[in-house]
A and B are shown apart, each in its own frame.
Chain A
Amino acid sequence: MTQEHQPILTLQAVRKSYRGRAALQGISLQLFPGELLGFFGPNGAGKTTMIRCICGLLKPDEGSITLSIPDSFRGSRASRPGLVPQNLAVYPDLTVQQNLEVFGRLEGVRGAALQQRIDEVLEWSALQDRRRSLARTLSGGMQRRLNIACSVLHRPAVLLLDEPTVGVDPQSRERIYAMMQELTAAGTAVLLTTHQLEEVETRCDRIVVMDHGQIVADGRLPQLVASSLGLPHRVELSFQHPCVVELRNFEFDEQRLTAVCRLASMQQLPGVLEVLQGLPEPPQAINVRSFGLQDVFLALTGRSLRE
């Protein structure tokens, strides 16, 4: 196994309880260099506890958490993960530059190296022009970018982001994902928790679903759909009157008013729809859709409300 395929972060059967309540029940997970991992689950699933354990803020009751820093990060202070909290964890009454300076110092970066790193990070986060602005005067998107920028000054090998795109406009969101892509391209492993399913579907390399302190699904979206829902596409026909004709590949409900067909690929759709040509009464509606993360999520975690 090459170094790039060795996990940078490994959680092995991690357990953590609060006052007798199990928050993590044997979590095992691997994160690879340059990977953008989407991590999501219902509220109270244990995501925050897991992140706090990875950061070292909490000590697991059982299990182990191992960081294996690649050679490309040696010599830096990369062994400490970067943490981007959900709230704006910056000092609103300091300027952008001052915030970067204090958090850089706290990460042990000083002197000329710090100034150089601040310049790089400002350019990376497109905040050069607002260097001397107070953080509280920035727009929501700028504040979010500053929030992320403050966490990468020490070039962490692992970056943990807790809902980094909450409340930002599409342009800023694009910029934030562009920043993350630059990080992953440089080999940084990024773990992203979010409830923005669309973003996870389209942006993340891998998706982990967590519920009740356990990982209930781990893989790419097609794998998750296949494992939790079966075939990924669905064709539904609705009739005004009960359909008296049998349709190949379709299953009817009891009243024979609705017929459903599952497809492995959208390329099968034209062939499937050919059967409709000989019907005495055409369907009132034809609904074709592909399963997404929302369906996987609900299938795995249920529809009951949490917290």
Chain B
Amino acid sequence: MILTFLRIAYLRLRNNPLELLLVFVMPVLFFSIFAMIFSQGIAAGTEKPVRLGLLLPGDNVAAADLQAELQQNTSLICTDLGGLPTESGRQERVILEAQNSSRYDLLLLLSADFSPAEEDRFRVRLVTDGQNAMAVAMVRAILEEYYAVQRVEGVVEQLQESVRSAAKERLLPAAEESAGQGAFFREPISPRTVFAGSGAPPSVEPGLAPVSADQPASVLDPPTDPAPGTFAEAADPDPETLLAAGPEPQISVDNPQAADQQNPRIAMYAAGIAVLFLLFACTGHAATMLEEAESGTLDRILVSEAGLLQIVAGKWLGIFLMGCLQLSVMFVFAEAVFRIHLWQHLDGFLVMAGSTSAATASFAMLMATICRTRSQLQGTATVIILSMSAMGGSMIPRFVMSDRMKELGRWTFNAWALDGFQKVFWFQSPIESLRPEVTVLLGSSLVMSLATLLMSGRWRRGL
């Protein structure tokens, strides 16, 4: 009996190509999309280097040295954006322009007196638009490593200098004295005995810590308990102490565009989630047309005074308004809870909500016109919407994708919608800057609506 149920399940699956598609093809498709994103994107190491824009002081050798070091790093693509303007306002404008160009994941600015040798002059400013947190972490780590290496090299040089000085200032008179007595040649002094001495306890020289005869000592070993003011303290010969006690590199991270937001990422994710659910909701709403066709209600409406054009237009308008309302609810909630500054960007939001809803409504109507049954629509729409959302940035931020994936994403209208919302809420761009996104969204809406009208004649013929 159980096998009979198994057979029923098998036969139903076999006889339903759409379900087969959802069960077996959809996971593979999604795996492929995500594999493409991650294999050529964020997890690909050198294949997806961080694009770093450099704003460096012109005549600074240390800055040039750091630039050379950064350019050798294969995880980075460094672009010299020219000299750092000295005037503050102009500096911020340059930063803003560089960010708006979307060509850089991160901008790196060095102070005019930048120097890794002096801790208070290792001042680095990283400017991010907040999209790529990985880029910030990566560049910060590279800078810290560079700073540490520079510090170690400095310590080594300092130690070498200390040893040379000590040998010159302290040992040379003793050697001269020994040479006068002939002792220097009779009993050569081992390097180990420079401070430890041998035979009779040496007299403690001012500035030297007392060392017992049976205690091995080295020029590199610090005195166990150096007295204040001794040579050990003055020379600070312990590299660990030097590094541990040294100041942290002064690396600041700024996000000027999101400076007045409590949580700048929220707006972007609100848009991503809203557009994803908008697609599903609109398609579900358009499915009522198929429901009406199946029940005969559509025939009754077609026989009435309402023409086909009015029916399609009325349905489209309903879906469009519902989409606007859904986006509004989402963003008002985001404003109330997460303070995305909706009211400051209301004009941009309205433009983007309208154009996104228009494109989504047209997409939903086209899907309902192409599909013959509700189950067909549900299956097909699920495949297309999830694919569009994965490629368009609703599921994974587009900045982690490879350039190729980003380009592919551009063929989905929801990518344009997300870009528009991002411009409004993240980059706080003026409404004029939304022209490309709005053009694409309304254009695709028009094309899909025309296709719907061309194919809507099938409603008259019946399903």
Please list the residues of chain A having a beta carbon within 8 angstroms of any beta carbon in chain B: 18, 48, 52, 55-58, 77, 80-83, 85-91, 103, 106-108, 150-151, 162
Given contacts A48-B462, A87-B294, contact A57 B302 (CB under 8 A): yes
Counting CB contacts under 8 A, is B173 at the interface?
no
Contact of A89 with B303 in the complex, beta carbons under 8 Å = no
Q: Kindly state the separation between the CA atoms of A87 and B305 in the bound complex, as whole angstroms.
A: 21
Q: How far is the CA of A107 from the CA of B294 in the complex (A)?
A: 21
Name the 5 nearest CB pairs between A and B, nearest first. Answer: A85-B296, A89-B296, A106-B304, A89-B297, A108-B305
B305 touches A89 (CB 8 A): no
The answer on a CB contact under 8 Å between A87 and B296 is yes
**B88 within 8 Å of A (CB atoms):** no
Q: Indicate whether B460 reaches chain A with its CB closer than 8 angstroms.
A: yes
Chain B interface (Cβ < 8 Å from any Cβ of A): 292, 294-297, 299-306, 460-462
Bound form: Cα–Cα A217–B302 in Å: 31
Consensus secondary structure, chain B interface = helix
Smallest CB separation, B17 vs chain A (Å): 22
Which residue among B294, B297, B460 has the maximum number of chain A CB atoms within 10 Å of its CB?
B297
Contact assessment for B304 and A103 in the assembled complex, using a CB-CB cutoff below 8 Å: yes
Q: Looking at A81, A85, A108, which has the most chain B CB atoms within 10 Å of its CB?
A: A85
10 further A-B contacts with Cβ under 8 Å, apart from A85-B299, A89-B299, A106-B305, are A52-B299, A57-B460, A57-B462, A58-B460, A58-B461, A80-B305, A82-B303, A83-B299, A85-B297, A85-B300
User: Is the pair B299, A56 in contact by a Cβ cutoff of 8 Å?
Assistant: no
Enumerate chain B residues within 8 angstroms of A150, measured Cβ to Cβ: 300
Instruction: Give the distance in Å from the alpha carbon of A297 to the alpha carbon of B306 in the complex.
Output: 38
Q: Do residues A80 and B304 form an inter-chain contact, with CB atoms below 8 A?
A: yes
Query: Shortest CB–CB separation between residue A19 and chain B, in angstroms?
Result: 11
Whole-angstrom distance between the alpha carbons of A81 and B304 in the complex?
Answer: 9
Chain A nearest Cβ from B452, distance in angstroms: 18
Most buried by B among A77, A82, A106: A106
B306 x A87 contact (CB < 8 A):
no
Chosen A-B contacts, 20 in total, with CB atoms closer than 8 Å, are A48-B462, A52-B299, A52-B460, A52-B462, A55-B302, A57-B299, A57-B461, A81-B303, A83-B300, A85-B297, A89-B295, A89-B296, A89-B297, A91-B297, A103-B300, A106-B305, A106-B306, A107-B304, A107-B305, A151-B300
Q: How long is the Cα–Cα vector from A81 to B294 in the complex, in angstroms? A: 21
A48-B462, A52-B462 known; A57-B303 Cβ under 8 A: yes
> Chain A residues with Cβ under 8 A from B294's Cβ?
87
Shortest beta-carbon distance from B409 to chain A in Å: 38
Residues on A with C-beta less than 8 A from B460 are 52, 57-58
Residues of chain B within 8 A (CB-CB) of A108 are: 304-305
How many angstroms between the C-alpha atoms of A85 and B463 in the bound complex?
14
The chain A residue sitting closest to B295, CB to CB, is A87
Residues in chain B near residue A85, CB distance under 8 A: 295-297, 299-300
Residue ID in chain B nearest A91 by CB atoms:
B297
Residues of B within 8 A of A91 (CB): 297
- What is the bound-complex CA distance between A214 and B104, given in angstroms? 74
B462 partner residues in chain A, CB cutoff 8 A: 48, 52, 57
- A56-B303 contact given A85-B295, A85-B296, A89-B297, CB 8 Å threshold: yes
Report A-chain residues with C-beta under 8 Å of the C-beta of B301. Answer: 106
**Residue in A18, A80, A90 whose beta carbon sits within 8 Å of that of B303 in the complex:** A80
* Of listed B292, B299, B302, residue having the most chain A CB within 10 A: B299
> Of B292, B295, B303, which contacts A55 at CB under 8 A?
B303
In the docked arrangement, what's the CA distance between A18 and B460, Å? 13
Contacting residues, chain B, for A81 (C-beta < 8 A) = 303
Closest residue on chain B to residue A90 by CB atoms: B297
Asked if residues B299 and A55 are in contact (CB atoms below 8 Å), the reply is yes
